[in-house]
Amino acid sequence: MSKKSPIFHDISPTISESIAVFPGDTPFHVKTNMDFSQGHHLKLSEIHGTVHLGAHTDAPNHYHPQGQSIDERDLSIYFGECQVIEVSIDRKKRIQPSDIGVEITSPRVLFKTSSFPNPDNWNSDFNSLSVELVEFLKSKNVILVGIDTPSVDPEDSKALEAHNAIYKSDMAILEGIVLENVANGTYTLSAFPLKIKGADASPVRAVLME
């Protein structure tokens, strides 16, 4: 009997010069240095922009002075069993443990809030995580938490309460994912960061497999 092929769900937004970035951060830009249309023998491009681009994972040194850089992170964090949980709360609210409504069964959890619906159009009233939720996830042995918004904290947060609770809990962060067409359930996550020396984040090609 032949083995059934996995179904892939690409949960990464398309990276283009239209994609929104955090206010004040560096937009994405592509420069084409060589092209067939100009008589060259190949196409050759360069890119410029924030490392917090599209679907990305923060490194601990982004939010803590003693944190690891992205090239120092254990890759096993970013691959394995994952649970998608949809929550329905008011815009700009932080998710609380009482908002979940299902049992945590996987070591990686992604929250579908639908509060940042268009990656090319910035909106400030997206949902984020509460410290209480981070602590609850830690008690359930969660090692990675993700969300379909640009940040686990609100746009105007300077204290970065959720980021720092995640650092204290030694968890990883996955932000900027797209879960619009993904149902609640258990999947296999693949979201490896690039090995950028000293970097505070990395874009990823985040994929769920079932």
pLDDT tens profile 90-137? 999 999 999 999 999 999 999 999 999 999 999 999 999 999 999 999
3: pLDDT strictly greater than 80: no
24: pLDDT strictly greater than 60: yes
pTM of structure = 0.96
CATH classification code of 8-15+51-209: 3.50.30.50
Q: Where are the beta strands (DSSP E) in the chain?
A: 8-10, 29-34, 44-48, 56-58, 79-86, 94-95, 108-112, 128-129, 144-147, 172-175, 185-190, 201-203, 207-209
Catalytically annotated residue among 9, 52, 56, 62: 62
Q: Which amino acid is at 131?
A: V
Residue 62: active-site member:
yes
